[in-house]
Structure 1
Amino acid sequence: MAILGSIIKTAIDLRGALVSEKSPIESQNEVLTNLLEKAKDTAFGKYYGFSKILEADDIEKEFKQKVPYFDYHQMEAEWWNKTQEGLEDISWPGNPTYFARSSGTTGKTSKRIPVTDDMVEAIRTTGIKQVGALANFDVPSDFFEKEIMMLGSSTNLEAQNQFLEGEISGISASNIPFWFRGFYKPGEEIALMEDWDEKVETIAKRAREWDIGALSGIPSWMELMLKKVIEYHDANTIHDIWPNLQVYTSGGVAFQPYEKSFNQLLAHPITIIDTYLASEGFLAFQNRPDTTSMKLVTDNGIYFEFVPFKPEYINEDGSLSQDAPSLSLAEVEKDVDYVLIISTVSGAWRYLIGDTVAFTDVEKAEIKITGRTKFFLNVVGSQLSVNKMEVALREMEEKFDIEIPEFTLAAVKIDDAFHHHWYLGTETEVNNEELAKALDEALKDANKNYAVARSKALKGVKVSVVDPTVFHEWSGKNKKKGGQVKMEKVMDEEKFADWEAFVKEFNGK
């Protein structure tokens, strides 16, 4: 047994035994109070009367009544633009050190989200909590002596006036503790590379130099990197290159859609741990092995609210209606889709992050990501969430014995009637018409609103199968490869027309 690994594992096990956590609800009450107390003298805090809110008998209720919902565009236009101009104490004390650039999944231009020193510390602390949670998983002592491949954005942050800018994965990697740097791969030199293809090519060339025990990154880009390494070394699986690979920390999106194709790259199963690191903060991570759900980080600088995900509460642009009710952690129910709202130590207040979640265990505050508010397809009343789409596609994988890691769709008019046109990314040949019929039936069974729509205004389903590479190249064309970039699952007709033109060009038609 490796001595160093045994020491580290024992320390983690001991920490888990000694650290007793407060209840998530109690922790959330304290977090909100601390946020309001710290920000009460900022311009935002004075405008919305944080000092008065703190005097209320029910601080949560008063906070909801006094402070409206904000999406990114509202927060940026009314408050964060002043921070970007160099003014201090706007929505959080002082000035942030960083701005996280995030193109998200649908934006044509990058968002610039403040990342304060308090948030950097919160992300680091949650990272330590996640490492501590490994005590709950069956990993051997020698795992803790292996290296970790963290595939993210460039750590070469750009100076913009008094701030440094980059994607959150790059900001996080640039703040790695000194004691961890010997374990961190691909190392600072490669991590600085801006060009994703060059970065992956370099990783592939040097792969045999490293003893990788764990991977960390967004599934779609991680899968592409692993394929490149395998191809470069003419190997059968990634375990031929990294035999001690035992853990993959997924992030950014749910891992389940990629599970089948990802497992094809392995010689044997590895431990998958889901995480939820967004530009706005480290929100949740998988805390135990007997679930694929993630535990909300309820005691570390982020206050959560939950709005029932119903069409009447969502505006056409994906923002929230101001009369939409929000629930605290004490009020939520299991298996209900909620729009996630956060207030943070980076000065985001009642902020629509854009994701929808559902609780799998309310007492443990465990959630799964179910979709995006903008990826809610409700043309002619179909009310399709990404979660419903993903469930149906997993059925298609089983029924046709294929892998579908990527997809997108739109409601389009064909002969003056609405149809759902799906593009499915798979390397397996399959009959499009048979797939369309099966997918349609699966969605009818899973969603009564969809079934009603199909009997009325939604006249048909069309499926086009394409190589998964098309989705990655589309991301490269419109934003850039790697990092936090995710494929948009639902497009409007204008974007979908651009997509179809790109697919034809890619296929040489």
Structure 2
Amino acid sequence: MGLKAFLSKLFAAYTVKKMDRWKFNAVAYQQKTLTQLIKQAKNTSFGKDHRFSSILSYQDFKKNVPIYDYEDLKPYIERVIEGEKNVLWPGKPQYFAKTSGTTSGVKYIPISKESMPQHIKAARNALLSYIYETGKTDFVNGKIIFLQGSPRMDKKAGIQFGRLSGIVANHVPKYLQKNRLPSYGVNCIEDWENKVDAIVEETVNEDMRLISGIPPWCQMYFDKLLIKTGKSKIKDVFPNFKLFVYGGVNYEPYRSRLEESLGFKVDSIETYPASEGFIAFQDSQKDKSLLLLADAGIFYEFIPTDEFFNEKPTRLSLGEIELNKNYAIILSTSAGLWAYSLGDTIKFVSKNPYKLLVTGRIKHYISAFGEHVIGEEVELALLSVAKQEKLEITEFTVAPQVNPPKGELPFHEWFVEFVETPKDLQQFALKVDAVLQQKNIYYKDLINGKVLQPLIIKPLRPASFISIMRKEGKLGGQNKVPRLANDRNLADKLEPYITII
């Protein structure tokens, strides 16, 4: 065992033991976090506007601070962008993370000198937890690649701004810099396809052992590597590739194709980072749930998803949640976001420690007829049947067809890019529909009541979603295809890509 591997095991044991202090006392640490956040921000403009000095409990906090989304906080954020100090958090932010909002256009999410280290620490601790549990350290002696946005920063009013992954790239610890790829110059290439081509050239002859990124964009990287080398499997290109770290989307829709490209099953770690804060990571290879980071400068609240759009929804602290129930997650952070609706939905599967699964986006659902079908349900329905039929799915999305042109009953229209289209597509669709009915009683009632007809699958040509993302300027980086929507904005753009069977 080399020195680096030996030291990493010692550091992993120390870190995991330190994590146990809050891991099994999460509720107490959350109460402490809220108190600290209120104390630090009481003299800010937001703190004065919401009478932080009078807040002594979580109940007080709920009375004084309503739920905010980005549009609600925008007047405060615009003041910060213009250079004003002490608006949402003491002083000025260290960065603004620039994100593409689905409803608000470009968003500028503040990152403070207090919150920035939490992003780095969480990513580090995810790897250390893996080392501690498995004892595997081979990846520390080889090359590491992060498929991410450009690290180049712009500046306004003295505050740097850029993509979150690019900001984080500027804070990678020195002990990882020597082994890290791609180079700074390649990482700064803005066009995603040109960037991936350059990364292939730079890494093809390296000893890559850890690869990190959003699964569909990693798949693009692997595809280009295989074309470049003429190899049939990534294991022949990177024989020492040991660990895949990912986040941003559910891995399961991509797993079979990725593993087919790799030629083996690689260990993986799921992370749950957001520009607003690093929320959770997978701390064990024994289950897929993610450990909620209860001591990371974030106070969490949870709203039952079926109440989210109510005028006065129920707001719960961590100690009040129930297992296996879907919640919208709300954040108050050490960067100055307050009761901020992240837009994600999660469900807890454990309380000791608190561990969760990400189930979708609160605005990504179909409820054209009151069915409220969510991302978790459509993914399970399609992937479970695809697994039974031994079919691979490249990508998919679902939208309602409310007014079919032939005057038939409305239906859910599924746009699916198969690696190989099922021989009997209609039978395949009926099986998927049966699973969806089993998972969602409201959808089942609409089918039985002849309000909806069973779902219809439209197969797409290869690379259809990549073509759409390219046209939209959303290829690569942190961009993702929405699994489902209550409108047809994406669906209508996909119509020309449907294949005729």
TMscore range, shorter length: over 0.9
Deviation at 1:483, TM superposition (A): 1.3
Check conservation: 2:464, 2:494, Cα contact below 8 A.
no
2:171 counterpart of 1:178: no
Give the match for residue 97 of structure 1. Answer: 94
Give the match for residue 155 of structure 2. Answer: 159
Residue of 289, 305, 308 corresponding to 1:309: 305
Secondary structure, aligned partner of 1:209: coil
Deviation at 1:493, TM superposition (A): 4.0
Give the match for residue 318 of structure 1. Answer: none
Check conservation: 2:466, 2:475, Cα contact below 8 A.
yes
Give 5+ residue unaligned stretches, structure 1: 316-320
Counterpart code for 1:85: E
Counterpart code for 2:340: Y
CA distance in 2, matches of 1:469, 1:416: 30
- Normalising by structure 2, we get a TM-score of 0.94
Q: How does 1:245-394 map to 2 (within 5 A)?
A: 245-310=241-306, 313-315=307-309, 321-394=310-383
CA distance change for structure 1 residues 14 and 67 in 2, over 3 Å: closer, same or farther? closer
Check conservation: 1:215, 1:249, Cα contact below 8 A.
yes
Residue of 468, 475, 483 corresponding to 1:474: 468
Check conservation: 1:68, 1:322, Cα contact below 8 A.
no
Deviation at 1:322, TM superposition (A): 4.2
Q: How does 1:50-65 map to 2 (within 5 A)?
A: 50-53=52-55, 56=56, 59-65=57-63
Deviation at 1:437, TM superposition (A): 1.4
Deviation at 1:42, TM superposition (A): 0.4
Secondary structure, aligned partner of 1:406: strand
Deviation at 1:478, TM superposition (A): 1.6
CA distance in 1, matches of 2:18, 2:79: 44
User: What is the CA deviation profile of residues 47-67 of structure 1, one whole-angstrom value per residue up to 9, with x for unaligned ones?
Assistant: 1111110xx3xx111111211
Residue of 48, 65, 69 corresponding to 1:71: 69
Deviation at 1:32, TM superposition (A): 0.7
Check conservation: 1:156, 1:194, Cα contact below 8 A.
no
Deviation at 1:480, TM superposition (A): 2.1
Give the match for residue 477 of structure 2. Answer: 483
Counterpart code for 1:31: T
Deviation at 1:423, TM superposition (A): 0.4
2:17 counterpart of 1:21: no
Deviation at 1:143, TM superposition (A): 2.5
Give the match for residue 493 of structure 2. Answer: 499
- Matched length: 494
Check conservation: 2:153, 2:160, Cα contact below 8 A.
yes
Residue of 407, 415, 420 corresponding to 1:423: 415
CA distance in 2, matches of 1:467, 1:180: 41
2:201 counterpart of 1:205: yes
2:90 counterpart of 1:119: no
Secondary structure, aligned partner of 1:249: strand
Secondary structure, aligned partner of 2:426: helix
Deviation at 1:411, TM superposition (A): 0.9
CA distance change for structure 1 residues 462 and 287 in 2, over 3 Å: closer, same or farther? same
CA distance change for structure 1 residues 143 and 44 in 2, over 3 Å: closer, same or farther? same
2:5 counterpart of 1:5: yes
Secondary structure, aligned partner of 1:458: coil
Check conservation: 2:8, 2:128, Cα contact below 8 A.
no
Higher mean C-alpha displacement, 287-296 vs 426-435: 426-435
Check conservation: 2:365, 2:485, Cα contact below 8 A.
no
Give the match for residue 33 of structure 1. Answer: 35
Check conservation: 1:207, 1:241, Cα contact below 8 A.
no
2:78 counterpart of 1:81: yes
Give the match for residue 398 of structure 2. Answer: 409
Counterpart code for 1:300: A
Check conservation: 2:302, 2:321, Cα contact below 8 A.
yes
Give 5+ residue unaligned stretches, structure 2: none
CA distance change for structure 1 residues 95 and 502 in 2, over 3 Å: closer, same or farther? farther
Check conservation: 1:406, 1:468, Cα contact below 8 A.
no
Check conservation: 2:399, 2:491, Cα contact below 8 A.
no
User: What is the CA deviation profile of residues 380-409 of structure 1, one whole-angstrom value per residue up to 9, with x for unaligned ones?
Assistant: 122211111111012121232112242111
- Normalising by structure 1, we get a TM-score of 0.92
